[in-house]
Every structure is written in C-alpha cells, then in structure tokens.
Amino acid sequence: MLETPALASECRYARAVEMHAVVAARLWELIDAAIETHGRALIALAGGSTPVPIYNLLREMPLPWDQLTISPTDERWVQLEEPASNEGMLRRELLGPDAAGVELVSMARRAADPGADAAAADQTLARLGRPFDVALLGMGADGHTASWFPDARGLDVALSSQRHCVAVEPPATPEPRLTLTRAALLSTGNLLLVIGGAEKWAVYRDAIADPARYPVGALLQQQSAPLDVYWAAD
Ligand code: 6PG
C-alpha cells in the first residue's frame, strides 16, 4: 500500500445524492474559510457530468459570489456556445441570477490555436497572485483527471511545467484540451476528488496501489495538497 500522506479522507456513499450534499457543503465551507483569510476565494471546478448536481446545489446557496473567482480545471477547445464547453456548463449549472458578481476565468477563447489560449489563460491565472484555495476534480475510467489523459500529447508538460495552464492533445477526445498543470493543482489548498460507480472505484484503488499507471496518480502520490476523495456507488 502506497504511503499517501496527501490522502486526507476517503468517504464512500451508497447514494450519489448524499455525496452531492456533503461535497457542496464542504466547498461552501472552504470558500468561506478562504474569504475569511484572503478576502476572496479562488476555486477550480471540474467539467464532465459527475459534479453537475453539486453545482446545482451550490447555485441555490447564498454564496458570496462577488468574492469568488472560478476557473475550470480544464476545458475543451470549443466555442463557449458548444455543448462540450466546460465554461458553458458552469454558466448553465452553477451560476444563477445571484452570481452576477462572480469572476469566471475563460480558458478557451478560441484564439489562433490551443497553445495561444493556454498561454493567455496561464497569464490570467498568474495574475490571481496565489494558488487556488480549492479544486474539485473528477476522474475518467481511464484514470485521467482534469485533462491529463493517458498518452495525450503534452501530458508530460502538464505534469512537469511550472505554468498554470497548458494545452494537451488527447488521442481519446475529439478536440484539443486546455488543462491546469500538476504544479497548479498541487499548490492548491484543498483537493476534492469526486467519483461514482464501481468501475471508477476500482481504477482509483488501482491508482492508489500503482500511481505511475494512471495520470490521476499524480494527485495521489504527493505530499503538497491534502486530498479528500468522495465516492458514490450509483
Ligand atoms: C472534463 C473534466 C474531466 C472529468 C472526467 C470525468 O472536462 O471532462 O474536467 O476531467 O472530470 O472526464 O467526467 P465525468 O464526471 O463526466 O465522468
């Protein structure tokens, strides 16, 4: 068993609705703590489908939206209006009428090429002046997290660069991706990983045993950022 000092907690739920409520409350708690300390909270949120019910719960909570800066953990290199856009999903699922004062970082501006967008996003994130207070991440059944996909062109840069954001080209996705780097995520105050179903649990446990086998292992084999893992059976 790998010594995983980063693994602060591992919570398992019979029903996803239970996990959603716990994670939403945890995010709110971390946001409030960050504002208490820094006057503002900087958070990074995953795309995909697993976190959407959590975002829907947060949308109805009286969060201090005007003291909140949100970035996607990664983005598909598509237009904002396209269904695949993570920014578009966050705007639809997380930001309600009370969230007008929020700052939402756009990773994909659809510049000349993904590298140009990544460089622009990197500068935007650098101007925030400090690491994220919390990042919520998902995981694919192939062991990717953010857009650290296995065999992606640029994955080595994402896992080694000191930049905040880089472009990668996964063989498994229809479009290039922009993603936070390992350096950006491991400097985060708190990492929350949310996964669902038996298949992903098996991959997660496999990654705990052999981190080098999956990109998500870079979150598991580190002593920088405390990691809380939440899993739901359904
Ligand atoms: C994305 C996400 C990605 C996601 C996993 C899991 O852009 O898709 O950031 O890393 O968390 O692919 O996706 P699901 O939650 O939809 O299974």
Structure-token pair, residue 192: 């929350």
- The pLDDT confidence band at residue 5, using thresholds 50, 70 and 90, is low
- Listed residue (29, 20, 60, 2) closest to 214, CA to CA: 2
More confident of the two residues 172 and 191: 191
pLDDT given for residue 8 in this prediction? 82
User: Which string of b and e fits 111-128 if b means at least 16 CB within 10 Å?
Assistant: eeebeebbbbbbebbeee
- Average pLDDT over every residue of 61-89: 97
Least confident of 55-64, 111-120, 125-134: 111-120
Q: Is the CB of 223 under 6 A from ligand 1?
A: no
Please determine, for residue 134, whether its predicted confidence score (pLDDT) is greater than 70.
yes
Please determine, for residue 189, whether its predicted confidence score (pLDDT) is greater than 60.
yes
pLDDT given for residue 70 in this prediction? 98
- Grouping H, G, I as helix, E, B as strand and the rest as coil, residue 178 is strand
pLDDT given for residue 7 in this prediction? 78
pLDDT given for residue 110 in this prediction? 81
Percent of the chain with pLDDT over 90: 94
Q: CB neighbours (10 Å) of residue 105?
A: 19
Q: Is the CB of 49 under 6 A from ligand 1?
A: yes
Measured in Å, residue 36 CA sits from the centre of ligand 1 at: 30
pLDDT given for residue 2 in this prediction? 45
Q: Is the CB of 74 under 6 A from ligand 1?
A: yes
Measured in Å, residue 124 CA sits from the centre of ligand 1 at: 23
Tell which atom from ligand 1 comes closest to the C-alpha of 144: 10
Q: Is the CB of 123 under 6 A from ligand 1?
A: no
Please determine, for residue 111, whether its predicted confidence score (pLDDT) is greater than 90.
no
Q: Is the pTM of this model over 0.85?
A: yes
- Listed residue (9, 30, 41, 39) closest to 193, CA to CA: 9
Given ligand 1 and candidates 145, 192, 230, which is best to mutate, with the most ligand atoms within 8 Å of its CB?
145
How high does pLDDT run on average in the chain? 95
User: Which string of b and e fits 207-231 if b means at least 16 CB within 10 Å?
Assistant: bbeebeebbbbbbbbbebbebbbbb
The closest residue, in CA terms, to atom 9 on ligand 1 is 47
Q: CB neighbours (10 Å) of residue 8?
A: 14
Residue 45, strand partner residues: 72, 136
